[in-house]
C-alpha cells in the first residue's frame, strides 16, 4: 500500500516518516550537499512561492532547462507542490546545431503552452530567443531568482487524478509528444517498482544515479520514486560521469548503495574502463539491484560486466535486472526478479524471423538470444496482438499492449495520437515482443521492422552483428531498408574512426552475410557523431533512412558496393548529455 496519494503530499510529509533520509547532490568536483526530506520540504516551499509570485497557478506549464541536479530537482518538485506542470527539457550541450535545438525546444514550449521558462544562468543568453518564438511564453527567469521569496506558497487542492508534469518523448521514431503523467500513475508505478518488483527497504537502502534528469529513468526512478517511498537518493552530475565513469562505482561503494540503473552502454563502458586499482578498492557486495533499460539490452554486455565485478568486487550474480518501460506507462512495465541471475531465451532464428514464433533451435541451426525483461509489475497486465488486434498465444511475436494503474492519461493536446496509442483500456506500445512463462521479451519497434522477401528482420540484430566487426563503434550502428528495383534492400550505416572505410564496409557485409544469411546492399561508414540521435541519445533509424535517401547522411562518407546518395549534411543536431555519454563509451 503506497504511503501517499500524490507526489505533492509526499514532498510535505515524507520527512515525518523518514527523518534521516533525503537527497545527496554531488557537484562536478565531487563535493556533496545533503538535504533531509524535511529540508526538501522547506526549500521547495520557497521556490514554490517564488513561482506563484510570477503569476503561475495550478495547471500552468513551466519549461525547465536546468543543468545542475540540485537546482533541477528542487525546482521540479516546487512546481509540483503548487500544481504547476513542469516540462523537463534537455539543455544544449554544444554551440553547434543551436538552430535545430531552438526549433525543437520552441515546438515543445508552444505545444504545451508554457508561460514560463526557468533556466540555468549560463543558458540564459542562449534561450532568450525562445521568448519571441513562443506566443504563450511570458518570461524567462534564471533558476537563481527562485532561491528567495518573502511570501509563503498557497497550496491548491491536488488530487490523484491531477497531472503532475509533462514528459516529452525523445522521438526516436516520431515527433516528440507530451505524455501527461498523473499523480495516480506516478504513485502506482513507483510503489510497484520499489516495493513490488525490487522489494527495497526505503528506511535503510540508498540509490545512486548519474542519469539525466530530463529523461524519465533518471527523473522518476531516482527523484520521484525515492521521495514517494522515503528512500535516500544520491545524484551524480551526468557530465561528471562522462568525464570519469569510475565515479559511478566510487559513489556506490562509499554510500553502500543498494540500487542503481543505467542503459546497456554504461555497463559496457565501466567494464572496459575499470582499472585494476579501482577493482581492488570497490566493494560492491552492498548492491542488490543494478537495473538495465532505456535501450536494447545485450546479454554479452551483461555477462562481461558480471564476470569482472563478481570476481573482483564481490558483486552478486543476481544483481543485474533487465527492465522494460516507456514514458506512456509512467516508467516501468516489467522487471526481472532480484532472486535469480538475468535470463535469456534461445530461439531458432529462422523460425522466429519467418514466422514470429519463439521455439528452441535444432542443434546446428542458427539461433537468436533474447533477454528476458522479467514478469510484469504487480497489479498490471500485458498481452500481444496481431495487426488486427487479435490476442496472440504465448511465444508468438506481436505488439505488446500494457494495462494497469501505471498507464498515463495520454498525450497533452494531441487527441489523435492519444486515440491511436490508448485504446480500450490498453496502451499500445508500438513495440514488438512476446510473452513466455509470464516473462516479457522485447524484440524491436513495429515501425523499424524490415521485411526482406517475406522474411522479418529486426534491425537491432543486424546492428549488433555489425558492431562485432573490428573498427565499428558499438552502439553507433543503424540498419534500415530502402526501396530497390524489385524489393526492399538492406542498408547499414555506422560510425568508425578507421581510415580504410572501404575495407571496413566489405568486412561488415561479409560478416552479416555469414552470420545472418542476409545480403547488405550498402554499408555507409561515417565519422563519429554523424548519425542522428534523439535528446536521450537513441539512434533515429527513420531520420537516418530519410537522410540516406536524400543523400544527406553524415560527412566523410565512403561506401562499399551499391548505390547511394551523396554526403551533404551541413549541420549536426546538438548532442545531449546522454548522447555524449554514449559517445564516451566508444574507444574505437
Residue 323 three-state SS: strand
Lowest mean pLDDT among 124-133, 386-395, 459-468: 124-133
Q: What is the mean pLDDT of residues 101-117?
A: 92
pLDDT band at 94 (very low <50, low <70, confident <90, very high): low
pLDDT in tens, 559-585: 343 333 222 222 222 233 444 444 444
Query: Residue 313: is its pLDDT beyond 90?
Result: yes
Q: Cβ contacts of residue 429 below 8 Å, gap of 6+?
A: 326, 328, 329, 399, 400, 401, 402
* CATH 3.40.50.12780 domain position(s) in the chain: 7-243
- Which of residues 370 and 366 earns the better pLDDT score? 370
* CATH 2.30.38.10 domain position(s) in the chain: 341-404+425-447
Lowest mean pLDDT among 282-286, 465-469, 579-583: 579-583
Q: Which of 100-114, 311-325, 441-455, 479-493 has the highest mean pLDDT?
A: 311-325
pLDDT at 367: 86
Query: Residue 232: is its pLDDT beyond 80?
Result: yes
Summary mean pLDDT of the chain? 90
Query: Residue 586: is its pLDDT beyond 80?
Result: no
pLDDT in tens, 426-437: 999 999 999 999
Q: Which of 585, 573, 583 is nearest to 171 (CA)?
A: 573
Write out the DSSP string of 100-163.
HHHHHHHHHHHHHT-SEEEE-GGGHHHHTTHHHH-TT--EEEEGGGGS--SS---PPP--TTSE
CA gap 12, 81 in Å, rounded: 8
Spell 242-271 as b/e; 16+ CB within 10 A means b: beebebbbbbbbebebbbbbbbbbbbbbbb
Lowest mean pLDDT among 61-65, 106-110, 391-395: 106-110
Entry pTM? 0.84
- Any long-range contacts for 276-282 (C-beta under 8 Å, 24+ apart)? 278/246, 278/249, 278/250, 279/308, 279/309, 279/312, 279/313, 280/312, 281/253, 282/249, 282/250, 282/252, 282/253, 282/309, 282/312, 282/313
The topology under which CATH files domain 7-243 is: Rossmann fold (3.40.50)
CA gap 56, 52 in Å, rounded: 5
pLDDT band at 457 (very low <50, low <70, confident <90, very high): confident
Question: What percent of the chain shows pLDDT beyond 90?
Answer: 73
Q: What is the mean pLDDT of residues 527-541?
A: 81
The topology under which CATH files domain 341-404+425-447 is: Luciferase; domain 3 (2.30.38)
CATH numeric code, 449-584 = 3.30.300.30
Amino acid at each position: 500500500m503506497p504511503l501517499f496519494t500524490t507526489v505533492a503530499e509526499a514532498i510535505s510529509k515524507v520527512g515525518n516518516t523518514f527523518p534521516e533520509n533525503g537527497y545527496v547532490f554531488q557537484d562536478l568536483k565531487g563535493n556533496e550537499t545533503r538535504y533531509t526530506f524535511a529540508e526538501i520540504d522547506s526549500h521547495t516551499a520557497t521556490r514554490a512561492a517564488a513561482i506563484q509570485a510570477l503569476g503561475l497557478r495550478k495547471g500552468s506549464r513551466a519549461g525547465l532547462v536546468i543543468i545542475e541536479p540540485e537546482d533541477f530537482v528542487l525546482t521540479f518538485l516546487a512546481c509540483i507542490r503548487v500544481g504547476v506542470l513542469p516540462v523537463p527539457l534537455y539543455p544544449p550541450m554544444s554551440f553547434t546545431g543551436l538552430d535545430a535545438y531552438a526549433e525543437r525546444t520552441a515546438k515543445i514550449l508552444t505545444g504545451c503552452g508554457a508561460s514560463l521558462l526557468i533556466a540555468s544562468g549560463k543558458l540564459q543568453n542562449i534561450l532568450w530567443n525562445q521568448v519571441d518564438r513562443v506566443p504563450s511564453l511570458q518570461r524567462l527567469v534564471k533558476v537563481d531568482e527562485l532561491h528567495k521569496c518573502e511570501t509563503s506558497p498557497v497550496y491548491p487542492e491536488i488530487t490523484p487524478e491531477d497531472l503532475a508534469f509533462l514528459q516529452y518523448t525523445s522521438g526516436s521514431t516520431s515527433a516528440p509528444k507530451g505524455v501527461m503523467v498523473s499523480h495516480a500513475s506516478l504513485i502506482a508505478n513507483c510503489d510497484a517498482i520499489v516495493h513490488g518488483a525490487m522489494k527495497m527497504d526505503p528506511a535503510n537502502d540508498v540509490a545512486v544515479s548519474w542519469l539525466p534528469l530530463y529523461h524519465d529513468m533518471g527523473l522518476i526512478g531516482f527523484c520521484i520514486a525515492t521521495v514517494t517511498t522515503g528512500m535516500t537518493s544520491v545524484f551524480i552530475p551526468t557530465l561528471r560521469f562522462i568525464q570519469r565513469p569510475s565515479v559511478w562505482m566510487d559513489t556506490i561503494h562509499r554510500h553502500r548503495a543498494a540500487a542503481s540503473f543505467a542503459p546497456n552502454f554504461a555497463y559496457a563502458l565501466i567494464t572496459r574502463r575499470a582499472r585494476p586499482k579501482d577493482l581492488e578498492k570497490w566493494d560492491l557486495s552492498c548492491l542488490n539491484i543494478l537495473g538495465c533499460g532505456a535501450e536494447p539490452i545485450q546479454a554479452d554486455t551483461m555477462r562481461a560486466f558480471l564476470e569482472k565485478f563478481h570476481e573482483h568486487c564481490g558483486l552478486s550474480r543476481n544483481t543485474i535486472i533487465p527492465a522494460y518501460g516507456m514514458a506512456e506507462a509512467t516508467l516501468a512495465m516489467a522487471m526481472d526478479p532480484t532472486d535469480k541471475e538475468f535470463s535469456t531465451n534461445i530461439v531458432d532464428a529462422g523460425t522466429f524471423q519467418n514466422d514470429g514464433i519463439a521455439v528452441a533451435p535444432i542443434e546446428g541451426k542458427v539461433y537468436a538470444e533474447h533477454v528476458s525483461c522479467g514478469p510484469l509489475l504487480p497489479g498490471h497486465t500485458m498481452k500481444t496482438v496481431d495487426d488486427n488486434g487479435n490476442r496472440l498465444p504465448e511465444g508468438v511475436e506481436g505488439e505488446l499492449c500494457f494495462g494497469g494503474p501505471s498507464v498515463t492519461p495520454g498525450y497533452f493536446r494531441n487527441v489523435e495520437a492519444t486515440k491511436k496509442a490508448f485504446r480500450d483500456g490498453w496502451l499500445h506500445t508500438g513495440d514488438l515482443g512476446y510473452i513466455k512463462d509470464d516473462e516479457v521479451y522485447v524484440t524491436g519497434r513495429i515501425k523499424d521492422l524490415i521485411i526482406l522477401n517475406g522474411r522479418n528482420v529486426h534491425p537491432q540484430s543486424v546492428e549488433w552483428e555489425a558492431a562485432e566487426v573490428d573498427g565499428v563503434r558499438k552502439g553507433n550502428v543503424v540498419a534500415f531498408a530502402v526501396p530497390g528495383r524489385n524489393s526492399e534492400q538492406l542498408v547499414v550505416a555506422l560510425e568508425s574512426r578507421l581510415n580504410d572505410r572501404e575495407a571496413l564496409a566489405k568486412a561488415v557485409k561479409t560478416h552479416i552475410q555469414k552470420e545472418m544469411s542476409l545480403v547488405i546492399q550498402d554499408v555507409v561508414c561515417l565519422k563519429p557523431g554523424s548519425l542522428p540521435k534523439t535528446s536521450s541519445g537513441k539512434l533515429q533509424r527513420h531520420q537516418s533512412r530519410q537522410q540516406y535517401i536524400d543523400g544527406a547522411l553524415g560527412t566523410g562518407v565512403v561506401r562499399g558496393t551499391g548505390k547511394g546518395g551523396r554526403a551533404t549534411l551541413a549541420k549536426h543536431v546538438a548532442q545531449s548529455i546522454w548522447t555524449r555519454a554514449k559517445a564516451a563509451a566508444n574507444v574505437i
